[in-house]
Structure 1
Amino acid sequence: MRVASGSRRDGLAPAFVVPHAWTEDGISVDGGGTGAHLLLTAVACCVLNDVYREAQEPGIALAGVRVDAVGGFDSTTWSSTTIAYDVDVDSDAPQQVVDGLLAQVDEVAEIPRVVRGSVAVTRERSEA
């Protein structure tokens, strides 16, 4: 899965585009539509969004962000075994500043935190 914004959308033929508060052209999403792909998309979009959010207060200018997310799944149970992501940031800020921003994002990004916590997912029957 790949999600990208701004200058990092170049050359990406997205499956769809999601509106985004901090970018004029939204977030391009490239990848499949299975549940596994959507889980990876959720992680990647969350990380991308949080890069923009966390860059606001220190005033780090971002020209574009790309997040690639990959995952492993148990072929018997289809449970998620791993999710890894990589972030490419286009910014004039020094690399040390960008590295600090990405470390902060890794701590606060909500969906990766939820998944890391091994959330139980249950189906509840709604009463009609």
Structure 2
Amino acid sequence: MKISANVENSAYAHSVVVRTNEKVQAIPIPGKATGYGSAVNGGELLMLALATCFCNDLYREAQKRGITLTHVAVEASGEFVQEGAAGTNLVYKARIEGDASREELDVLLKHTDQVAEIQNTLRAGVRVERVD
């Protein structure tokens, strides 16, 4: 699976498009009020990626176990204290409800934490490079 994201910005025009293989989707994110840049910052989008990944993976892993989840809430947060410095204290928490016992849901949470791709990508410290 190949995933990409494109951002295009100019005076008072802002476009965000994501792609997974051949599936392309526009995401409505406004530009800054000044007209230059995104109204949503990269740290916010990184936290959204963590929360979205865990949410989606919970449903995937629950289905494999024959569990129907009726509610999932995930909150991710981190601290970005200095320009150019890596974020710190990246944490997330999740609450789930479904047709399984509390113990089974807790096992599902722990397992999903081990297989969530975005979380594991950050934990591995994957190299990121700019290419021409």
TM-score normalised by the chain length of structure 1? 0.69
Determine if the alignment matches structure 1 residue 78 to structure 2 residue 79.
no
Match of 2:101 in 1: 94
CA deviation map 1:75-123 (0-9, x unaligned): 1423122210010102131110000000110000000000011122111
Match of 1:47 in 2: 54
- The percentage of aligned residue pairs carrying the same residue is 39
How many residues were matched structurally? 95
Determine if the alignment matches structure 1 residue 66 to structure 2 residue 73.
yes
Residue 67 of structure 1 deviates from its aligned partner by 0.3
Residue 74 of structure 1 deviates from its aligned partner by 3.8
Residue 61 of structure 1 deviates from its aligned partner by 1.1
Larger radius of gyration: 2
Match of 1:108 in 2: 115
Which segments of 5 or more consecutive residues in structure 2 lack a partner in the other structure? 1-24, 26-38
How far apart, in 2, do the equivalents of 1:57 and 1:119 lie?
28
Where 1:63 maps in the other structure, the secondary structure is strand
Q: Which has the higher contact order (CA 8 A, sep 6+)?
A: 1
TM-score normalised by the chain length of structure 2? 0.67
**Matched AA of 2:103:** Q
What value does the CA root-mean-square deviation take over the aligned residues?
A: 1.6
Where 2:110 maps in the other structure, the secondary structure is helix
Residue 39 of structure 1 deviates from its aligned partner by 0.5
How far apart, in 2, do the equivalents of 1:124 and 1:105 lie?
33
Which segments of 5 or more consecutive residues in structure 1 lack a partner in the other structure? 1-17, 19-31
Structure 1 segments (4+ residues) deviating >2 Å: none
**Matched AA of 2:129:** T
